Amino acid sequence: MSIYVGNLSYEASQDDVSAVFAEYGKVVKVHLPVDRETGRKRGFGFVDMENDSEEEAAIADLDGAEWMGRQLKVNKARPRTPRPQQSW
């Protein structure tokens, strides 16, 4: 399972996010997508933790919490849906 973390500060680094989630267990991976054109962080990310109970505890405690001046949106990540292909 992966955790979706929304409404992140654009200043947040992977290390910052990892440190917050490490309070709930072992963080396996943090991914903060960046905009292809600007290279700027997009304000959301994904966190993978070692087991489901740690992830559920993090979601329960951090959803709605204020961090770096923003109210976080934290929930289970949904599978990515394929985008329709454009025909030119």
pLDDT in tens, 14-56: 999 999 999 999 999 999 999 999 999 999 999 999 999 999 9
Contact 17, 8 (CB under 8 A): yes
Which residues lie below 8 Å from residue 36, measured CB to CB, with a gap of 6+?
A: none
pTM of the model: 0.87
